[in-house]
Amino acid sequence: MQDLKHLYTLEKLLEDASNPMIREAQEEGKYALGYTCYHMPEVLLNVDNCFSVRMRAPRVGSIDISTYYMSNYTCEFARSILENGIEGGYGFLDAVAGVDACSAMNRCYEHLEVLRCNEKPHFFVTHTDVPYKVEEYNFDRVAKQMRLRLLEVMHEKLGTDVSDEAIRKAVEEHNELCRVITAIGEFRKAENPVITGYEFHVICLASYCAPTAKILPLLKETLEELKARKPDPKPKYRARVVVVGSEIDDLNFTRLLEECGAMVVADRYCYGSFPGREEIRLNDSEDIVRQIARHYMLTSECPRYMAEEKVRQRKETVDRLAREFHADGIIYEQIKYCDFWAFERPLASHILTEEYGWPTLSIDRSYNVGNSGQLRTRFQAFVEALEIKRIHKSES
């Protein structure tokens, strides 16, 4: 297929935690608010003079210093974020909006603050709690925290307009971005898609890491380009897979997987589009922050929610995505030492195989995959198994 016009530009945006679009927006007087977790409503960080930046550590090498502070049995993602902060990688941020979702990331936020990894006078780190269950009273609880510990702090420190009108404007822009990303992702349902899983990974990830107003025109152009793009005469992939699990902001993961012959047709992982790129529906009768809190709590697929209905929701979501995107199998992954996914992954991958009938590969991995020989071998074996299963099915 012909190369996408803006793919190289989007790839360049992801080479570092900061990028030219962020710097351009800051030169215009905007403030960059970093965050790592879906439990922190992205849309609230995009109100008025602020914009969200999903924190990453793409260039981090050794994580020895952060390991000294956090121990070598904590999540590699959290340690990589802290290492990048200690090295000065988040000096461009104006704030970090954290949530007490897991102990490792909570410690990371605390160290970013205590070790003074950012010297801006107005810089702040804020924390909000995350409940274990989705209940009506928890919508009120989370909304109250978002007002007291996020919006009011943004107003005090950065002069942000946090009125309902400003929030609604942010939601409208967020929804426009979501519609574009969703429309691009829909192309993956085709038997011979006009977009690869790697290309979609670049597009989706870039949408988290740059100001919406700056990146939206490029994404709109890409959508129109895809509508006219001609696919290769014969698909290059040998199997279609849904990837499920913890953070994947490493493009090498998807690149390696697709080099082994598996196209990623749906991305149900942190930093992916499921969840993350669903429109937020608002009404005129209810507190707007409560509505936003409810949206993120209901759509969240995080194993931090341990209630039975949420456990069931996560498996049903994976099954639904695998059917909708015509997948041949599922890959469950987790970053090493991620507590919540370490509990979720083994049982959920077993149930998806035994009860739902999906061939499932279960893996744990380093934060930065690189060119892992072990992963390559496992991916190749899984693709071959899916091919054999498909051949046997066609012969029966």
Q: What is the pLDDT along the chain (396 residues), one digit of tens a residue?
A: 899 999 999 999 999 999 999 999 999 999 999 999 999 999 999 999 999 999 999 989 899 999 999 999 999 999 999 999 999 999 999 999 999 889 999 999 999 999 999 999 999 999 999 899 999 999 999 999 999 999 999 999 999 999 999 999 999 999 999 999 999 999 999 999 999 999 999 999 999 999 999 999 999 999 999 999 999 998 889 999 999 999 999 999 999 999 999 999 999 999 999 999 999 999 999 999 999 999 999 999 999 999 999 999 999 999 999 999 999 999 999 999 999 999 999 999 999 999 999 999 999 999 988 768 899 999 999 999 999 988 887 777
Closest CA to 210 of 3, 4, 5, 11: 11
Distance CA 174, CA 79 (A): 30
Residue 299 near residue 278, CB atoms below 8 Å: yes
Predicted TM-score (pTM) above 0.95:
yes
Q: Which 3 state secondary structure label does DSSP give 224?
A: helix
Distance CA 178, CA 183 (A): 8
Closest CA to 91 of 152, 42, 18: 18
Q: What is the dihedral of CA 355, 360, 365, 369, to 10 degrees?
A: -150
Residue 385 near residue 391, CB atoms below 8 Å: no
Distance CA 308, CA 334 (A): 21
pLDDT at 277: 98
Residue 138 carries which side chain, given as an amino acid letter? Answer: N
Residues with Cβ within 8 Å of residue 150, at least 6 apart in sequence = 40, 44, 97, 126, 128
pLDDT at 371: 67
Among left, alpha and beta (phi > 0; psi -120 to 50; other), residue 336 is beta
Residue 244 near residue 330, CB atoms below 8 Å: yes
pLDDT at 229: 97
pLDDT at 208: 98
pLDDT at 92: 98
Closest CA to 280 of 167, 160, 161: 167
Spacing of C-alpha 47 from chain mean position: 20
Residue 156, both tokens: 């005090």
Residue 245 near residue 332, CB atoms below 8 Å: yes
Residue 361 near residue 331, CB atoms below 8 Å: yes
Closest CA to 48 of 168, 178, 147: 168
Q: Give the chain's domains with CATH numbers.
A: 7-166 (3.40.50.11890), 229-395 (3.40.50.11900)
Q: Which 3 state secondary structure label does DSSP give 336?
A: coil
Distance CA 245, CA 321 (A): 14
Q: What angle do CA 174, 248, 135 make, to 5 degrees?
A: 60
Q: What is the dihedral of CA 149, 92, 212, 294, to 10 degrees?
A: -20
Distance CA 134, CA 378 (A): 36
What percent of the residues of the chain are helix, what percent strand, and what percent coil, each to the nearest 5?
50, 15, 35
Residues with Cβ within 8 Å of residue 275, at least 6 apart in sequence = 38, 299, 300, 301
Q: Name the DSSP class of 231.
A: P
Closest CA to 319 of 385, 237, 388, 242: 242
Residue 68, both tokens: 């000294």
Q: Is the peptide bond before 275 cis (omega within 30 degrees of 0)?
A: yes
Spacing of C-alpha 360 from chain mean position: 21
DSSP state letters, 170-207: HHHHHHHHHHHHHHHHHGGGSSS-SS-HHHHHHHHHHH
